[in-house]
Homo-oligomer: A and B are copies of this chain.
Amino acid sequence: MLREEIVRTVSVRGGHLSSNLGAVELTVAMHRVFAFPKDEIVFDVGHQCYTHKLLSGRAEAFDTLRRRGGLSGFPKRKESAYDVYETGHAGTSISAALGLAKARDLKGEDRAVIAFIGDGSFNNGLIYEALNSLNILKTPILIVLNDNGMSISPTVGGTHAVLEELRAGFDAEDVKLFERYGLTYMGIYNGNSLEELLPAFEEAKQKLKGGSVLLHVVTRKGQGHPFCESAPVETHGVSPSSAGKEYSAALGEELCALAKEDGRIVAVTAAMTDSLGLRPFFAQYPERAFDVGICEEHAAVLCAAMAAGGMKPYYAIYSTFLQRAFDEVIHDVCGQNLPVTFCIDRAGITGTDGETHQGVFDLSYLSLIPQLAIAIPKDIGEMRAMLRASVNYNAPLAIRYPRAGQEGVVAPVEIGKFEVLHSTVSDIIVLAAGERAIKLAEKAREMLGGEADFTLVNARFVKPLDIQFLSERRERVVITVEDNVVRGGLGDAVNKFYLNSNKTLVNIGYPDLFIPHGEPGALAEEFGVSAEALVRAVREHHARG
C-alpha cells in the first residue's frame, strides 16, 4: 500500500523513487517502535522521508507532493511536528541528532533521537566530524545506517570498503572502529524485513540507555519495484521530463572531445557522474575521471592540487552543493589562482526539490571571490564554446548553467566580453545573464510589440564585467535580468559600475528569501523573474523618457 502510493505519486509528481521504496519497512518499523513526534528523527539528505510523511498524518495530502503549496519532498518543520529538523544536503544528520539530543539532556527531557542515514552520505566529512564529537558531547543517539551500497551512483571509497566487509560477515575489528568513537554497533539486519527490524529497534532502544548505538541495516534500493531494483541509479530521482535538451549531456560530449586533444584534462565529481553528464567521460577516460563520493570539499581541494601539479581539472557540481566547498574555492583554488574550471549545473531556480536545492546564490557567493571569472552561457552551444575557451584560460573559471535549455550554435567566446543579441535605437538596454533571463527578455520584446523596444545584451560574464562595453553605452535606462538573487549578483555589479552616472538602473532577480518548491518556470515568475516584470519595467521607464 505504501509502496503503491509512493510509486503512483512519484510517477506523476517526480521525486526520489528507489531510495524511498528501499526504506519502507525501515520507516514502518521505526514508527512502530518509537513514539514520534515525542521521539525525534533526522533524515540525512531527507529525500527518503516519503513513508515517514505517509505515516505521520500526511497521506491525504500526499498527491500534492512537490507541487507549489503542497507537501515538500523533504522534511519541513512548518509541515508537521514529526519533522523536527530540515535537511537537503548530505551529511548533517548525525550532527543534528547530537544537537537535538544535547538540547534534550539540558532540558532534562527523555526521548530517543535518531539519525537516519544512507551509506552514500556516510562518506561525507561532516559524518566524521560528528562521530568525533560523540565522546565530547556524551549524549546518546541512535544512528540508523541504511546501507544499500549506493549514493546516487554506487558508493565509493574506504568507508564503503569497511561497510562492505561488515556486510560480507561480522568482523570484530571493524566493529571496534565504531566502538573507538563511542558507539555500540548492532548489525547486520535485513532492512526490508519487518520481522528482523522490529526486535532490532526494540533492542537498540534499550541499549540507548547506555550510550549511542549504530544500527547497521542493509536494504535494497528500489525494493518491491522491479524496474527500480534493476535500475537504481536511473530511478534515484525521477523527474517529469524536462523541457529542452540537457546541458549535462553537452558537458560530457565537450569534455570528451577536449580531453582527446589535451592530456591535462581531468574531470571530478562528488557522486553525481550521471546527472552531471560525465558518464561518457568516465567510460572514455577512466584514468582521468574521479568520483570521490559525496565529498564536495575534498573534490575542490583535489582539483586545486591537480592544477598545481600541471593538470587542467573540471569540477562538475550542482550550484547548491558547491556552497559546501565555498571555503575551498576561495582558499585553495582562487587564493592560489589555479586553473580549475567549475561546471556548475542546476543553477538558478531548480524547482521541485525546494529551498535546499535552488541554485540562486551562486552568482553572489562567487562574485565576491577575487581572481575568479564567472561565465553564464545563453544556451548549450555557448556553454560548449565557453568550455572550449576554458582550455587555454589559465585561471579559475566558473561556468554556470541550468539543467535544460536550447542547443543553439557554437560561436567563439572571449572571456569577459558581452554579446549584443538585438540592437535597436532605444533609450533602454537590457543586460540579461543566462538562458532563462534571455528567453524572458525575448518574450518581453514580443509582448511589447511595437509599443517599445530595447537593446538586448547577453551579459555572459558577471566577472569580469565587460567594462569597455558598459562604458560605451549611451542608453539612459539599464535593466539587468538574472536567474539569481539580486543581492550580490549581476545587478549589484552593474549598479556599482554605473554609480553616480545619470543612468536609471533596474534589477530583476530573486528577492532576499528562501524560494520554496514548485514548478521552476512558475516559481521564477512568481518570485519576480518574468517577462511580465521586464515589460512593466520597460513600460515604466519608456513612458518617462
Q: Are A323 and B330 in contact (CB under 8 A)?
A: yes
Q: Hey, which chain B residues are within 8 Å of A162, CB to CB? A: 180
Give the docked Cα–Cα distance between A226 and B182 (Å): 36
Residues of chain B within 8 A of A492, CB atoms compared = 487-488, 492, 495-496
CB pair A125–B129 under 8 Å, yes or no, is yes
Is A308 among interface residues, defined by CB-CB distance under 8 A? yes
A59 located at the interface, meaning its Cβ lies under 8 Å from any Cβ of chain B in the complex: no
B496–A500 contact, CB under 8 A? no
> Of all chain B residues, which has the CB nearest A372?
B512
List which A117-132 residues lie within 8 A (CB) of chain B.
123-132
A370 CB–B CB distance under 8 Å: yes
- Which residues of A from 318 to 369 have beta carbons under 8 Å from B? 323-324, 326-328, 330-332, 334-336, 355-356, 361, 364-365, 367-369
**B97, A305: Cβ atoms under 8 Å?**
yes
- Chain B hits for A9, CB < 8 A: none
A87-95, A230-238, A392-400: which lies at the interface: A87-95
* A134 CB–B CB distance under 8 Å: yes
Closest to A287 in B: B106
Which of the segments A11-19, A189-197, A294-302, A432-440 contacts the partner chain? A294-302
Q: Which residues of B contact A137 (CB under 8 A)?
A: 290, 292, 302
List residues of chain B with CB within 8 A of the CB of A99: 301-309
Closest Cβ of chain B: how far from A536's Cβ, in Å?
15
Q: Within the oligomer, what is the number of copies of this chain?
A: 2
Q: Does A174 contact B (CB under 8 A)?
A: yes
Q: A1 near B: Cβ within 8 Å?
A: no
Contacts of A504 in B (CB 8 A): 500
Q: How far is the CA of A147 from the CA of B102 in the complex (A)?
A: 30
Structural contact, A301 and B95, CB atoms closer than 8 A: yes
Q: Is the CB of A292 within 8 A of B132?
A: yes
| Residues 54-84 (chain A) with a chain B CB within 8 angstroms | 77, 84
Instruction: Name the interface residues of A359-412: CB closer than 8 Å to any CB of B.
Output: 361, 364-365, 367-371
Is residue A107 within 8 Å, beta carbon to beta carbon, of the partner chain? yes
Asked if A37 is an interface residue, CB under 8 A from chain B, the answer is no
| A85 interface residue per 8 A CB criterion | yes
Q: Which residues of B contact A487 (CB under 8 A)?
A: 367-368, 488, 492-493, 496
A103 within 8 A of B: yes
Query: Which residues in B have their C-beta under 8 angstroms from that of A302?
Result: 95-96, 98-99, 102, 133, 137
A284 at the interface (CB under 8 A from B): no
Within 8 Å of chain B (Cβ to Cβ): is A251? Answer: no
Shortest Cβ gap from A147 to chain B (Å)? 15
Interface centre among A77, A124, A156, A302 (most CB of B within 10 A): A302
Contact B306 A102, beta carbon cutoff 8 Å: yes
Chain B residue numbers with a CB within 8 Å of A84 are 308
A309 CA to B85 CA, complexed, in Å? 9
Q: In chain B, what residue has the closest Cβ to A177?
A: B177
Which single member of B95, B125, B157 contacts A136 (CB below 8 Å)? B157
The minimal Cβ–Cβ distance linking A528 to chain B, given in whole angstroms, is 14
Task: Return chain B residues, CB-CB under 8 Å to A512.
Answer: 370
Contacts A125-B297, A309-B103 given; does A365 touch B365 at CB 8 Å: yes
A488-515 interface code vs B (CB 8 A; 1 in, 0 out): 1001110110011000110100001110
Bound CA span A315–B173, Å:
37
Question: Judging by beta carbons under 8 Å apart, are A158 and B131 in contact?
Answer: yes
Determine the residue in chain B with the shortest Cβ distance to A297. Answer: B126
Which of chain B's residues have a CB closer than 8 A to the CB of A421?
none
Q: Is the CB of B173 within 8 A of A129?
A: no
Q: With A103-B305, A327-B323 given, is the CB distance from A133 to B176 under 8 Å? A: no
What are some 6 contacts across the A-B interface (CB < 8 A)?
A85-B308, A99-B301, A103-B308, A135-B157, A487-B492, A487-B493
